Each structure stands twice: as structure tokens, then as C-alpha cells.
Structure 1
């Protein structure tokens, strides 16, 4: 639920037919997983948490900002490539891991929340969505955040937390009674929040680690299958976050300036789970003793003001995966896919708009 909309064929609002075709062509997985989401989240019970209702929740909390993503509305596009070292082929036959293969990558850095001009803040969740463009039309899309685990185990929990932590007008803070009641019913969220506190945010996007959080199944050429989670670990020096309040666009300004000065790099690390490790609960961390594989290096070379056909319109739906990778039974995966499809229908009908963050050559940032 940390990245959210589908790739649109044009920058202007398409017709309803075009929107539906876009959903079918770009996020067919969302339609496949819709039934799983409805079942897992209570669609067949009186609660009826549908994709539409969950999407409404974003608008209730953040307000309706026509044409923008319902979550991670503020962001900037980036481009680069991934160079594989071949080690990932031990667990997956996906061509992206073939030794020496360079795969073009289009991505987007963002901050969580549905307000497109929100002020940067150190504690706001940072996101990185990537699309790997593979041969024969295959793609791998992933949406990661700078937290070690996700705060919710189920779509219902996510929805309830979002409403419980909604800021009250006038105070700018959540209702303490509502948050206390939610946390009392969701000890898994309390544990996840405590774990996040143990890994405080860094100085910016460039020195942040980004984690996929959900579990996927990787299958190699011999047919062996293992559960995997992945992370991107920065090769830039890691520095502590500033203690002072940040400038309104400071995190993005620093990122753009860093890319203007030269490439930024992250190691892709695959963590291999064991049979006893949970594959359907993103709030639980796997032990640090699990086997890891350094699969290659992601290099980002440029920041791009959001525009049609680039990071602005890509759906970073994590269920879009190549051969050799399949989604696990984690209920959040089917929910994310279904909600992204719902969000696209709304955003496309409103006329897709661009985040206010501008690349350096187009502004004074």
C-alpha cells in the first residue's frame, strides 16, 4: 500500500474505455488477485472492505487531490540500470539475475501520504518504486520503503490504522483514544513500530536502505523454490538524519543535487527464508542469521521531473514479476494490486497530474 497508481498511456485524462484498457494491459494481475483480496479482507462479510472502500480511506485521511496518487503523492522520477553478478541465479531463473546482464530501470522516490505538496519531514516513510525492463516484454516491478517491516499484517488492519491515526483538525495530531484502542487490538503493529524505532531514518534518500517487506517465492532453473525477501543497501556513506526541521523540499533537493554530482548505487541483497519463517506476515522480521545473496548493483544516474511515460505514470504493483518469481500468500500483495487498479480508474478520470518536485535544471532546487 506504499506505492500506488497504474501506468497511463497519455498525460491527459483518457476515456473510460482507455482507462479500462490500461488496467487490463498494465495491471492484469490486479484483476486476477481481486477475488483473493476481497476474500481475505472480509468482502463476503458485513465489513465488506473492498478496494474502493480502502481507496476512499486515503481520501478521508489526506483529502481528495484530483489527478494525484492516493498515496506517495509527492515524488520525483529517476532512471538508471541494474548490473547482475550472477549470484541471484542460484535461487531464481529470472533473466534479471543473469551474470553480467545490465537491465534498464525506471523509478520514483517518494514520501508516503496523499498530499502532493506536503513538507518534507525526517520521520515520513520514504519510498522507492522500480520497474526493471527485461527482454521479451517481461517486467519486474517493486515498491519498497525505508522500514525494516510493514506496520500491518492484513488489509483490514491497514485500513483501521489509517483511520485511527488520522490527524484531528486544529491539533494536527491523532485522537489518542482511537490510537490507543487500535494498538490494543493490534499487538503486531506495536511490535513493528518498536522495530522501526531501532532503525532510525538516515539523512536522505541516497543513504536510505529500502526493503521489499513482502515475501515472494523464487524458483531456479532446476525447479527448486525458496521464500525470498529483498533489500537495497546504499553504497553511499550513511549519515544520521538532521535533528532540526527540514526545508519544505529538502530531501528531494539533496537527492537531485547528489544525482547531478554523479551516480548513486545500492547493492541488491536477497534474504532466503527457512520453512519456519512467516511468508504471509510482513510485520515479522526474519532472523539476521538467514542466508543472504548479493545479487548485483542498482545504479541511478538521473532525476527526472515527473512526466508522461516516466515514473509519474508507472504502477509499481509488486505482483508484476518475471518468470522465476511468484507472489506469496501474503494478503497485502493481492490488496495492493487491487487497490492500485481502483486508484488508476479514479486518477485517470480526473486527469493525471504531476508532483510539484522539479529536477534541478528546471528550477532553483
Structure 2
């Protein structure tokens, strides 16, 4: 760790030392190969205008990106990270979640790029992801899968399914077929509107200066059972190292260099909604909503994906601690179901080396 936890911060009522936090991180490693994340969706059906199942999504990912055994079907390219979350305790007025009480929790995470090709060339416009498992396994652990987008681009499982096919690159051009994409957008005006919002917020130069957002709405539940709609975001405290020129892994290489020289920090902020705010993830909330500073995420270790680290974690957004509950946003159930299917498929497949080899990144 680059510095001790802030004075007065405690974990589960016990003062946190460097040694105790490292021991905690070791304990977190014990759950990584266990499919605790594949619990949120009990049956195979997802729904939609056509019959959608978890397997139909897996099949479509593979038809679009190819078959890559041992890798995630989406966000296949990534690196593992570790660190800690220092909670201010300010969000505990909204939620009884243990990880939101004042104190420090261990974190295992993964930075990734959208798409199912684990050897894809880094591109500035590719969606970036950050998955986190905060705290120890069990009913107090919080898993979240966030994106560097201001809104989600679909609001239904069917839209998600259709968008996959519409976004498939034409081998001749390397880009989606314009006619297919135009037909998709005509059928999904919510995606056309969301895409305009995304284009108005161009991506930052790298991972380290990206804001990562939940996009979906959740309920924060306090000790008396009061439920408040919330969305959360991680807001960076630092700029990113500029990406190098040439090479297939320029965004990841810059992230690795930065993390190997200094810890990176993000502020976790809860936006507090009202009963008038939409659950639809393609729609932003008004900018004047109250924001609560929940704590600080510190990441200080980066590793090549391997057995025993974040490679084997299912960052299911429905693995929530007591005190956080899902809204009725159907995208949440679809994501949970597809993540579970992807986890189960890759866990039984042979593993190939990650495209990003941390120890081979030049300083």
C-alpha cells in the first residue's frame, strides 16, 4: 500500500493496519474461483419479443466476436487490479450496507475493454469497463460492473440482443454495416437518443482519468427499511499517462506504467434520485440531484490475469450487500444472466495467456 488507511478508519470495528488489510486481501483470494456471482438469475429465460435465453446471448456474442475459449464473452481483454475502499460513512444514512460504514474494505477488480475479442487492438472509442468486488465474500460483499459511459445505450434485453448483431463489424470495412445499424436505430429510438448523449461526452485519454458509472438504478435501503433510488459513479482524482504510439495494447500499457509507479484514486459518489427520476438506463437524471461522497477507491496493484485473481471473478451487478437492492430495470437481470452463463462457460474451458502481460510492459 502506498499509505496507511486514514486515521480513525476501521473495518468491522477493528483498527485496520497494513498487515490486517493484506491478510484480508489474501482471504478474498479464497472466493475467486467460486461462482458466487451466478446466483441472481434462477432460470434460463431472459425474455423479449423473441425467445431469449442466456445461451442465445452467448451464441450471439460468439457469432459477432468469434469463439475464444477461457475468456469472457464480453469485455474479454483486461487486467486484474487490487486495492482498498475507504468509506467516509456518509452514505450510511442512505444504506445499511457494511461496506458503506466508515472503514476500509479490500478490493479486487478488473479493467477491461468492451467486446469479445481478447486480442483486440486498443482503440480510444472502445467502451471501457471497471468491475469491482468490495469486501469479503458473503452477504456483505458488493460487486459492481461499471462503464465509462454517461448512459446505457439500450433499455431492454431485446435491445441488447439486437444491438449486438447491428454492431458486428463488416470484414471488408472493419465497421458495422450502415444499413443494418440504421434499421436497428429506427427500431430502437431510445438507443438513437442515448447514442447522441454518448457522443456528446467523448472518452478521456485513458483508463486512469475515466469516470466509471453504474448506469443502472438501484435502491439504497437504510436500517429502518426506507428505500431511496441511487446511481453511483467513480470519479478520477488523476490524469492518465498518455497512450504510446503503435502497438496493440496502448491503453493498457499506459495504465500498467501508471499503476506501477503510483496508486490511483477515484471518489465514489452516490447520486440520490427522486420518485420522478427514470429507471430507464438510457435516460440521465437531472444534474441538480444531491450527490453523496461515499468514499475513495485506491488501486495500487496491477497483475496479468491468472488463476486466483480477478480473472475468475464474475462481476455480477446483482451480487449486492444487505442495504443495496436492484431496481426493476430489466437490463440488470439480463446482465446478471449473461454474466453467469459466460462465467460457467469459461470456467470449464482451457485458458490461453492474456494479451496484456504486465511484466512485459516497458517502463
CA shift in 2, pair 1:136/1:110, >3 Å: closer
1:337 Cα deviation from its structure 2 partner:
1.1
> In the alignment, which residue of structure 1 is the partner of 2:193?
191
Query: 8 Å contact 1:121–1:245 — kept in the other structure?
Result: no
- CA distance in structure 2 between the partners assigned to 1:316 and 1:145 by the alignment: 12
> In the alignment, which residue of structure 2 is the partner of 1:55?
58
Select between 264-273 and 173-182 the one with higher mean Cα deviation. Answer: 173-182
Equivalent residue runs for 1:137-152 within 5 Å: 138-152=140-154
What's the CA shift string for 1:77-107, capped at 9, x where partnerless?
A: 00000001111101000011112x1000000
> In the alignment, which residue of structure 1 is the partner of 2:97?
94
1:245 Cα deviation from its structure 2 partner:
6.9
Query: 8 Å contact 1:278–1:284 — kept in the other structure?
Result: yes
- Between 1 and 2, higher relative CO (CA 8 Å, sep ≥ 6) is seen in 1
Q: Structure 1 residue 38 and structure 2 residue 37: aligned?
A: no
1:30 Cα deviation from its structure 2 partner:
2.7
Moved over 4 A (4+): 7-11
> In the alignment, which residue of structure 1 is the partner of 2:85?
82
Query: 8 Å contact 1:166–1:174 — kept in the other structure?
Result: yes
Match of 2:283, SS?
coil
1:220 Cα deviation from its structure 2 partner:
1.0
> In the alignment, which residue of structure 1 is the partner of 2:39?
28
CA shift in 2, pair 1:291/1:246, >3 Å: farther
- CA distance in structure 2 between the partners assigned to 1:92 and 1:314 by the alignment: 25
Query: 8 Å contact 1:107–1:311 — kept in the other structure?
Result: yes
> In the alignment, which residue of structure 2 is the partner of 1:261?
261
Normalising by structure 1, report the TM-score: 0.86
User: Over the residues paired in the alignment, what is the CA RMSD in angstroms?
Assistant: 2.2
Query: 8 Å contact 1:121–1:246 — kept in the other structure?
Result: no
> In the alignment, which residue of structure 2 is the partner of 1:19?
none
Query: 8 Å contact 2:129–2:146 — kept in the other structure?
Result: yes
Query: 8 Å contact 2:58–2:342 — kept in the other structure?
Result: yes
Query: 8 Å contact 1:215–1:328 — kept in the other structure?
Result: yes
> In the alignment, which residue of structure 2 is the partner of 1:302?
301
Long gaps (5+) in structure 2: 1-28
1:223 Cα deviation from its structure 2 partner:
2.1
Normalising by structure 2, report the TM-score: 0.87
Query: 8 Å contact 1:93–1:323 — kept in the other structure?
Result: yes
Query: 8 Å contact 1:8–1:348 — kept in the other structure?
Result: no
> In the alignment, which residue of structure 1 is the partner of 2:131?
129
Query: 8 Å contact 2:139–2:322 — kept in the other structure?
Result: no
Long gaps (5+) in structure 1: 1-6, 12-21
- CA distance in structure 2 between the partners assigned to 1:363 and 1:249 by the alignment: 9
> Which of 208, 214, 217 is the equivalent residue of 2:216?
214
Query: 8 Å contact 1:85–1:98 — kept in the other structure?
Result: yes
- CA distance in structure 2 between the partners assigned to 1:98 and 1:354 by the alignment: 39
CA shift in 2, pair 1:310/1:212, >3 Å: same
1:362 Cα deviation from its structure 2 partner:
4.7
- CA distance in structure 2 between the partners assigned to 1:273 and 1:330 by the alignment: 15
> Which of 227, 234, 237 is the equivalent residue of 1:235?
237
> In the alignment, which residue of structure 2 is the partner of 1:110?
112
1:49 Cα deviation from its structure 2 partner:
1.1
Equivalent residue runs for 1:10-29 within 5 Å: 22-23=34-35, 25-29=36-40
> In the alignment, which residue of structure 2 is the partner of 1:331?
330
Match of 1:61, SS?
helix
Q: Structure 1 residue 343 and structure 2 residue 336: aligned?
A: no
